[in-house]
Structure 1
Amino acid sequence: MTKNEVKLIMKDKTQEIKVSSTSKAIPVEIASEKVTTAPPTISSEIQQVFLPLLKNSNLAMQEIKNRYQKEVTLENASLVYTPGVIGKAIIHFQDKNMELREDQERNLILSSSEFMNWEKSQEVKISGLLSGPEQKGKFSEIPSSLNDPKDFNELKKSFTDFLFYNSNFKLYHSPPLKIYSKPNESKAEFILRLNQMARESRDEEVDKIEQKYAKEFEKLKLKMSKSQDTLTKKQATASSLKQEALLSAGESVVGMFMGRRSTSSASKAMNKYQKSKTVSVDIDKAQKDIVSINQEMESLENELKAQIEIIKQRREKEINEVKEVIIQPKKSDIEIKMVSLAWIPKWEITYKENGNKKMEIITAYY
C-alpha cells in the first residue's frame, strides 16, 4: 500500500468522492408502455438474473397507506418485472502495516433510465439471485442498449472505475501509541481499548517511578532514624550531666557551710556544666537535621506527585489524539463477480383515495 493509497484525515474532515473521467454514460432508450407475459428475448452473450421478490402486494399496499396516513381502497395489484443492471464485486483491502486484510462486498443496481451510469446506482443487500421469476407477472420491454453485448462490456469497465474511486475502508489510528483499530471496530470501541491500554501503560510507568523514588525515601528514612537516635542519646546524656552537675554543685555548697573548701567538687561541677553545654549544641544540631530531613521528604513526595500527574496528563492526551485513516483499493484488488441484466420486481398498485383512482409503482425487492 503506497502513501497515495492511504490518506490520513482529521475527524472534522470528510473524504472527497472522485468520479472517474473514463466512466462512460451509456444512453438507454426509455422503455415503452409495452409489456409481455414472458421475458423478452435477449442476446445469448448477456447473462440475466432475477431479483428476489421480498415484498408481497399486501406489504406494498400497506406502504401506500402508511404514506398517506389514511384509508385507501386497493383495486388491483400487478407484478411487473422491469430491466436493469446489477453489478456485484468484492474489494480486497490489504495493508501489512495496519494488519488489515478485509473483503468488502458491493452490490449495485441500475434501473432503466435515460443514462446507464453507475453514479445513479443504488447500493442494495441481496440474499440471493434467481434464474427465473418467483411469481407470474408482466415484463417491460428491454431498451436496445441493454441488449447489446458491447454496451455491457463498457458497463463492466466503468463499474471497475466507479468502485475504484468510490470505495474505501476506514480505520482509526492513534499516532502516539502507534496503534490502528481493528477492521469494523467503531471509534467508541477503539477509544475504549486505548483507554485500557493507556491505563495499563500508565500504571506500569507509575510503578517504575515510584520504585525509583522509594529508594530515595529509604535513604531519607535511614537518615531520619539515625538523627532521631542521636537526639535521644544526646538528650539522655544532657539530662544525666545536668543531674551530675547539680550533685557536684550541691556537694561544694555543703562543704562551704561545713567549713570545708572543696575545689574538686567545684571543678567537677564546672566540667559537667561545660559538657552539658556541648551536648546541648549537639541536640540543637540533631533537631535541625530532623527538620531538614522532614522538609526533604515532603519535597520529594511533592516531586513524585508532580511526576505522576505529568504521566496521567500525557496518557490522557494520547487517548484523545485519534485520527481517521481512509484506505483506498488498488484496481487489482477489485474483483468483479458479475455485471448482468437484472429483472427488477415491482408492484403496479391501482387504488382509490377519497374516491380518486390512482396508480403507484412500489419496488418489491427491498
Structure 2
Amino acid sequence: MSDIDKLGSFYLGREHDLAASETSDRPLLYKSKDLTTHAVCVGMTGSGKTGLCLSLLEEAALDGVPAIAIDPKGDLGNLLLAFPQLEPSDFRPWIDESEAERKGQTPDEYAASTAELWRTGLAKWGEGPERIQSYCDAVERVIFTPGSTAGIPVTVLKSFAAPPKELLDDVDAMRERIQSAASGVLALLGIDADPVQSREHIFLSNILNTAWQEGRDLSVAELIRSIQKPPFDRVGIMDLETFYPAADRTDLAMKLNNLLASPSFAGWMHGAPLSIRDLLYSAEGKPRLSILSIAHLNDSERMFFVTILLNELLAWMRTQPGTSSLRALLYMDEVFGYFPPVGEPPSKRPMLTLLKQARAFGLGCVLATQNPVDLDYKGLSNCGTWFLGRLQTERDKARVIEGLQGASAEAGARFDKREMEATLAALGSRVFLMNNVHDDGPTVFHTRWAMSYLGGPLTKSAIKRLMDPVRDRYLPDKPAAAAGTTAAATSARPVVPGDVREKFVAVESVLPEGHRLVYQAGLTASARVHFVQASQDIDRWQEYYPLVSVGDRLAADLWDQALLLPQVPHLGDEPEAGAAFGDLPSELAQQRKYKSLTNDLEDHLYRTQTLTRWHAPMLDIYSEVDEGEGDFRQRLRMKAREARDAEIDEVEARYKKKIDRAEERVAKAQSYYDTQNMQFWERVGTFVWNVVDMILAIISGGKTTRRRSSSAASARRAATERGQAQRAKAKWDAAVEALDELEAERDQTIEELRTQYDPNRMTLEEVSVKPRKSDIDVRDLMLVWLPYAVDGDGVRLPAY
C-alpha cells in the first residue's frame, strides 16, 4: 500500500515551497482524527477551494467515513462523476457542449480531450484507475433534493419528531432545539420572529415543548390543529385568549395550511424521511456520502431545511457514545448567510452548538466559504484546522487572521501574525496554507487532482439522470395496501355492530390539492413475543403493533401484508368530517371472526419473527438485542477505527523513544565521520604539499632527504586517517541502516494494524433465536379505518 492510501490519512496534495515556487514529491497526509476538531476552508473564486474540499470528501469516503454534505450551489454532485476507466464516453454526457463550441471542438472531441486531461492530471499526482474504483466502491453516493423529485426527494414535513431522551434531559439543548425549530417554521412562512419578543415564536415554542416533553411526535396536521386548539390555556401568567386570540391563531394555522396545500409545495410532502442514520449508512451498514442539494430552493426554504437538518444531527449526535476517532463528517459548501457575525438566523445556534460539542462524539464539521467577512470568526475559533487559499481583499485577510488568532488561542498554540500575513499574500491558484493546531506549524501545499470530474454545478436534469437508475432503492417502501390504483368508496359510513371495537387511524399528512379523504377497512392489534435463550443471556419481550389494510375482502395471506409498527398508531374515536368510506368485509362485522384472526396472527408471528444478534469475531463484540445488522456494522466500523487509532498511537509512542535514540546515534556517527573525514583530507593536503615541496627542491638542486622523510610520514598519517574515516563512515552507515530498519519496522507494524482493523475485512456471524409458540400474546385485535388521499382517477396514497 502506498503512503497516499493509508487508512486514517487523507491525501490532499503535496508540500509546496512558496519561495522557490516549487511543489515537492512529499505528499501532504492529513490525519483523519484531526477533523474531530473541525475545519474551515476559505478561498476566493479560482483559488481551488472546491477541488480541495471535494478531494477531502473523496478521502473520507476511501477511509470509510460517512458524510453529509450540504450543497447550496450544486457543485457537490460532481462527486458522483468519478470514472475508473477514464473513457471519453464516460465524460461525454457531462461536458458543456457550449464550451466545446467555444474551443472549436465537437462534443465528442471535447469529451476525448477532457478524458485525456483527467487521465494525465491524475497520473501526475499518483492516482490511477484502481484508486478511483476504490473510491466508487467505498461508499454509496446519493443526491437528495428536499422539495424536488430531481434527486431522491426527502421530506421533513411529515413529522416534527420528539427528540431522544438524551436531549430531553438536557435543558439547554432542549431549549435550543425548540427555539431553532420554531424559528425555522416561521422563516418558512416569511415571518421574521424574535424568540423573546415574537408572540408567534413563543406560542409555537410552547406547542412543541408540550408535545415533546410528553414524548409525542407532531405531524404537520397535528401542529395545525394544535395551533387552532392548543394543549394549554395559559402562556406564562396570561390566559391564552389574551396572549393569542383564537382569530389570530386561526390566521396562523391557515398560513401554514395554505403553504403546505400549495401545489408548488407538494414536493416537500413526499420522499424519504429525514433520518441522520439513513443519510450516513445504508440498511446494510455501508457508509454513505449523502449530498443534500438545495440550490433549487428559495432562501427561506433553504434556511428552514438547513435548520431542521442541523437539529436532527444534534439529536442523533447525542445518542452516540463518545470517541476520539472520526465517526462522521458534516460538510457545508457555502456557509455564507447561515453563520454570520451579526444577527441570529435559525441555523446559527445549532451550528455553533455542533462546533462546540461535536468533537466529543467524533463528528467533524467542515465549513467552506469565499466570503470571510460574512462569518462569525469567534464561533470558528472552535475549528482546529484552517485551509486558506488566495483571498481577494485586505479586509478578507484581516478577518482570516482574526479567526486564526482565536483558534490558536483556543488550542494554546503559537501564532506568528507577521509570518502568516506574508504567507497569505504569496498564495496562488491551488496553493493553500494549512494551519492545523495539532501540527508544529503551518504547512503550504499544492492541492492534488480531484478524482471526480469537476464539470461545474449540476442542473436538476443532470441530477435526475444520475439518480433515476437507483431511485427505488432509497425511497421508502409503500405498504402493500397502497399498491392498488383504485379505491371503491361509498359516501356513507358502514354500520358496525356494537360488539365490534372500531377506531380511526389519525390523518398524518395534508391532502394534496384535488384529493379527497377515503377510509378503508383495516386491522390492528397489540402483540408481545418472548425470546429466551439462556446460553446468550437473552430474555426479552418484543412489542409489535401489526397494522394491515383489508380493503373490501379478507385475503388468505392477510397478515403477510401487515406492517409491524414499533408503537401504537394514533387512534381516534371519530372520523374526519366529510370523509368517504370503502366497503366493510362482511366477516369483520362478526365478533367471532376476530378470534380466528387472532390465532392466525399468532401463527404468523411464530413463523416469521426471529430475534437476531450478530457477532464480530475480530473484535469479539455482539450486537445489542434490538440492533440491526446495518447499525451493528456501523458501530463496528467506529470500534475498529477507535481500536486502530489507539494501537497506532501506542506503536508510534513506543517506537518514538527508540527512533529518537537511533537518530541521536546517527547524528553522533555522522559528526564523528565528518571530523575524521576532515582530518583525512587535511593529511592528504599536507602530503600533497610535502610532495610538491620535494619536487621543487629536486628541480632547484636542493637537499631532499628531510623532505622525502616528511612526505613519507605524511603519507602514513593520511593512510591512517583514511582508515579511521572509513571505519567512521561504516559506523555511520550502520547507524543509518539501523534507523531505517527501525522506521520500517514501525511502519510495517502500523500497516499490519491498518489491515487488521480494516472494517471491510470484518465478517459477522448470525445468531438467531426463535420464540416459543406459548410465549406469543396477541391482544386488542380490532377494526380500524385507514385514511387515504384519493385523486380523481381513483389513485390512492396513504395519509397515515
Q: TM-score, normalised by structure 2?
A: 0.29
Gaps of 5+ in 1: 1-10, 12-34, 43-47, 65-76, 354-359
Is 2:585 the counterpart of 1:146? no
1:106 aligned partner, one-letter code: Y
Give the superposition deviation at 1:165: 1.6
Partner in structure 2 of residue 89 of structure 1: 527
**Mapped partners of 2:531, 2:576: distance in 1:** 36
The aligned runs of 1:116-265 (5 Å cut-off) are 119=559, 122-123=562-563, 126-128=569-571, 130=573, 143=587, 146-148=590-592, 152-168=594-610, 174-180=616-622, 190-235=632-677, 237-238=679-680
1:51 aligned to 2:489? Answer: no
- Give the aligned partner of residue 295 of structure 1: 737
Which residue of 2 is the match for residue 32 of structure 1? none
CA offsets 1:34-80 (integer angstroms, 9 cap, x no match): x99865465xxxxx21121757xxx799558xxxxxxxxxxxx9x99
Task: Provide closer, same or farther for how the CA distance between residues 190 and 110 of structure 1 changes in structure 2, counting only shifts above 3 A.
Answer: closer
- Paired with 1:221 and 1:135, the residues of 2 have a C-alpha distance of 85
CA displacement 1:118-141 (0-9 Å, x = unmatched): 5466448731264x8888999979
Aligned residue for 2:504, secondary structure, equals coil
**What is the 5 A alignment of 1:32-71?**
39-40=496-497, 48-52=500-504
Q: Output the CA distance in 1 between the equivalents of 2:520 and 2:676.
A: 109
Aligned equivalent of 1:25? none
**CA deviation profile, 1:318-347 (whole Å, cap 9, x unmatched):** 56545766654444653322234x375899
Most deviating of 207-216 and 319-328: 319-328
Greater strand proportion: 1
| 1:275 Cα deviation from its structure 2 partner | 3.3
CA distance in 2, matches of 1:364, 1:242: 98
Q: What CA distance in whole angstroms lies between the structure 2 residues aligned with 1:346 and 1:225?
A: 82
Residue 51 of structure 1: SS of its match in structure 2? strand
Instruction: Give the structure 2 partner of residue 106 of structure 1.
Output: 545
Summarize the Cα distance change of 1:93–1:258 in structure 2 as closer, same or farther, 3 Å threshold: same
Distance 2:493 2:630 in 1: 54
**What is the rounded CA distance, in whole Å, between the counterparts of 1:236 and 1:81 in structure 2?**
100
8 A contact 2:520–2:785 mirrored in 1: yes
State the distance in 2 between where 1:222 and 1:308 align. Answer: 23
- Pairing 1:310–2:752 present: yes
Could you tell me which residue of structure 2 aligns to residue 24 of structure 1? none
Amino acid paired to 1:88? S
Q: What CA distance in whole angstroms lies between the structure 2 residues aligned with 1:257 and 1:106?
A: 122
Q: Tell me the equivalent position of 1:45.
A: none
Task: Check 1:318–1:180 CA distance in 2 against 1; reply closer, same or farther (3 A cut).
Answer: farther
Q: Is the 8 A contact 1:174 1:318 kept in 2?
A: no
1:274 equivalent in alignment to 2:716: yes
Q: Is the 8 A contact 1:220 1:293 kept in 2?
A: yes
Work out whether residues 505 and 569 of structure 2, in 8 Å CA contact, stay in contact via their aligned partners in 1: no
| 1:305–1:200 distance in 2 versus 1, CA, 3 Å | same
Distance 2:537 2:613 in 1: 9
Counterparts of 2:765 and 2:666 in 1: how far apart (Å)?
A: 52
Cα distance change on mapping 1:54 and 1:215 into 2, 3 Å: closer
Residue equivalent to 1:16: none
- Deviation string for 1:265-291 (max 9, x for gaps)? 876764454333222211112123323
Q: Residues 269, 99 of structure 1: CA spacing in aligned structure 2 closer, same or farther, 3 A cutoff?
A: farther
Note the C-alpha offset of 1:189: 5.5
* Match 1:286 to one of 713, 719, 728: 728
Match of 1:336 among 751, 762, 778: 778
Q: 2 CA distance for matches of 1:365 and 1:311?
A: 52
Distance 1:172 1:200, change over 3 A: same
SS at match of 1:200: helix
Distance 1:120 1:221, change over 3 A: closer
CA distance in 1, matches of 2:524, 2:683: 110
Q: Give the stretch that moved more between structures: 203-212 or 108-117.
A: 108-117
**Residues 88-115 of structure 1 deviation map (CA, whole Å, 9 limit, x = unaligned):** 2234567896999674322345857477
Residue of structure 1 equivalent to 2:485: none
Going from structure 1 to structure 2, the CA distance change for 1:85 and 1:345 (only over 3 Å counts) comes to closer
* Letter matched to residue 338 of structure 1: D
- Structure 2 Cα separation of the partners of residues 279 and 218 of structure 1: 30
Retained in 2: the 8 A contact 1:174–1:180?
yes
Structure 1 residues 108 and 144: CA distance shift in structure 2, 3 A = closer
* 2:340 matched residue in structure 1: none
**C-alpha separation between the residues in 2 aligned to 1:344 and 1:53?**
6
Taking only the aligned residue pairs, the percentage that are identical comes to 17
- Cα distance in 1, alignment partners of residues 742 and 763 from structure 2: 32
What secondary structure does 1:176 align onto? Answer: coil
Q: Do the aligned partners of residues 62 and 182 (structure 1) sit closer, same or farther apart at CA in structure 2, a change above 3 Å counting?
A: farther
Partner amino acid for 1:128?
A: L
Distance in 2 (CA, whole Å) between partners of 1:220 and 1:209 is: 16
Deviation at 1:310, TM superposition (A): 2.8
Counterpart of 2:504 in structure 1: which amino acid?
P
Larger radius of gyration: 1
The structure showing larger relative contact order (alpha-carbon pairs under 8 Å, at least 6 residues apart) is 1
CA RMSD, 1 decimal: 5.6
Instruction: Name the SS of the counterpart of 2:619 in structure 1.
Output: coil
**1:52 touches 1:128 (CA, 8 Å); kept in 2?**
yes
How far does residue 233 in structure 1 lie from its aligned partner after superposition?
3.8
Aligned pairs for 1:351-362 within 5 A: none
Deviates more, 1:285-294 or 1:240-249: 240-249
Q: Secondary structure at the match of 2:590?
A: helix
Return the alpha-carbon distance in structure 1 between the equivalents of residues 512 and 742 of structure 2. Answer: 77
Give the C-alpha shift of residue 315 in structure 1. 2.0
Q: CA deviation at 1:214?
A: 3.1
Alpha carbons of structure 1 residues 114 and 203: separation in structure 2 relative to 1, 3 Å = closer
C-alpha distance in 2, partners of 1:299/1:185? Answer: 45
Partners of 1:170 and 1:326 within 8 A in 2: yes
Q: Distance in 2 between matches of 1:155 and 1:334?
A: 14
Deviation string 1:12-53 (CA, Å, 9 cap, x unpaired) is xxxxxxxxxxxxxxxxxxxxxxx99865465xxxxx211217
Report the secondary structure of 1:126's partner residue. coil
Query: Structure 2: which 5+ residue stretches go unaligned?
Result: 1-283, 285-491
